[in-house]
Amino acid sequence: MTRSYFGTDGVRGTVGEAPMTADFVLRLGYAAGKVLAAREAGAADRPAVLIGKDTRISGYMIEAALEAGFSAAGVDVLLCGPLPTPGVAYLTRALRLAAGVVISASHNPYGDNGIKIFSGDGFKLADAVESEIERALGEPIGCNASAHLGRARRVDDAGGRYVEFCKSTFPVHLDLRGLRLVVDCAHGAAYSVAPHVFHELGADVVPVGVSPDGFNINDLFGATSPAQLQAAVLRHQADLGIALDGDGDRLIMADAQGALYDGDQLLYAIVRHRAMKEKVAGVAGTLMTNLALEQAFQRLGVAFARARVGDRYVLELMREKGWQLGGENSGHIICLERHTTGDGIVSALQVLAAMRETQKTLGELTADLVMFPQVLVNVQVPRGFDWKKDRSIADAQAAAEKSLDGKGRVLLRPSGTEPLVRVMVEGESRQIVEAAANSIAAAVRRAVAG
């Protein structure tokens, strides 16, 4: 079935434009509620879902519409307010709920928003269930009789529960005493929980990006804008900087000198440390994973495989192969023995555990991983633009591949969340890589203009 609404990370768009309108969200809540109710038929109690959100102004509207839709379908609703996406996944599983719903557009600006759904086991909703919801969206919206409406209540201790969960993923024989950490929460969902996690483990925490106003999420702060993190690390003479994105599932780190470490480097630090203690069967990456990381895993004797871009596909590959570790260079890192989804706080704790146990800095842990220069250029395109059919783009791509002389990679792909074509070129020479990426990007722009 061709799906009209669900993408790689749920439903997402610009608020006020289809599908992110109040009437659609109401219908989505009702359709999802009916599907969940049918799947829970015969249970003693009504199905219940947890709804969490990030700090966007539009979260209030979307939360209210979802609550109404679920209630009309006979599903109870638990509201937890701002909480990181992985926190919603954890609480959904811990509270034995039918599903968890996150209102967030992750790293996108505040004018966008989205809705993603976790199943009762804490994993992202299966494609088959999303397809059922899509079919239900095509049916007229109704409303249960009063006796069969869902109830709603607030979960007041959601943040505290999630803080304790995060702390439980850090080895009990270790602490963070003596470390000064800058923690940048992107004015997003982690603002009221992330600083507490690291502080309660003993660190001296300098919180930044913790003053959300509904409009400033991801704006000049967080994992997608790490300059503030770097500056704060240097200004406060911190040992390390930790930057999350708006919904708390991405991680970027900075060392005491302000040098940045992306998802590939942080994943390597975790895997290398694990491989010193136990057999690591394999690691999942994506088409965007740096070639240097693949080669480094080969040296460690660790199998590696690439999935499509998106943590959803990384997780699918990990579960298919029975692997515990995977991630993306954007900062989504999945440690399946710790959590069912990517979690920026939990991932940071795994890196910190490696540093504490080895008594090495982040630079020392990743010293033998020499990254290939990789350039990513995002080109705005109209929705539905099919770059594969344009001969000039294909010619530019072929010329770029020839310039790399077999010592690199070229990748063009549409964004799963924004109207963009992402042009990635990787190779040994930064000059050649930049020229190749800019040449392809220019060809895409010309095709769009034409």
In 41-142, the DSSP E strands lie at: 48-53, 76-82, 99-103, 112-119
Domains and CATH numbers, the chain: 11-157 (3.40.120.10), 178-257 (3.40.120.10), 263-365 (3.40.120.10), 374-449 (3.30.310.50)
Strands, sheet with 11-14, edge to edge from the N-terminal-most edge strand: 11-14, 112-119, 99-103, 48-53, 76-82, 152-154
Q: Which two tokens stand for residue 159?
A: 């943040």
Task: Report pLDDT for 390.
Answer: 87
Query: Which is it for strands 180-184 and 204-208: parallel, antiparallel or unpaired?
Result: parallel
**Tokens 């394999």, located at residue:** 282
Task: Report pLDDT for 388.
Answer: 86
Q: What are phi and psi of 305, to 5 degrees?
A: -145, 150
Task: Report pLDDT for 418.
Answer: 78
Q: Which helix (H) or strand (E) holds 228?
A: helix 227-235
CA angle at 379 for the pair 376 and 382, rounded to the nearest 5°? 150
d(CA 292, CA 428): 10
Q: Which residues are catalytic, by number?
A: 106
d(CA 358, CA 345): 20
**Tokens 């999303």, located at residue:** 130
Closest by CA position to 187, among listed 159, 229, 227, 216: 216
Residue spans of alpha helices (H) in 259-361: 263-277, 291-300, 311-321, 344-358
Task: Report pLDDT for 126.
Answer: 87
d(CA 330, CA 245): 10
Name the DSSP letter for residue 138. Answer: T
Q: Which two tokens stand for residue 260?
A: 């940045």
Residues in the chain: 450
Task: Report pLDDT for 42.
Answer: 66
pTM above 0.75?
Answer: yes
Per residue, the 3-state secondary structure of 14-55, as one string, reads: ECCCCCCCHHHHHHHHHHHHHHHHHHCCCCCCCCEEEEEECC
CA angle at 87 for the pair 288 and 359, rounded to the nearest 5°? 65
How do the pLDDT tens digits run along the chain, 450 residues long? 467 899 878 999 999 999 999 999 999 999 999 999 998 876 768 999 999 999 999 999 999 999 999 999 999 999 999 999 999 999 999 999 999 999 999 999 999 999 999 999 999 988 889 999 999 999 999 999 999 999 999 999 999 999 999 999 999 999 999 999 999 999 999 999 999 999 999 999 999 999 999 999 999 999 999 999 999 999 999 999 999 999 999 999 999 999 999 999 999 999 999 999 999 999 999 999 999 999 999 999 999 999 998 889 999 999 999 999 999 999 999 999 999 999 999 999 999 999 999 999 999 999 999 999 989 999 999 987 888 888 999 999 999 999 998 888 999 988 876 789 999 999 989 999 999 999 999 999 999 988
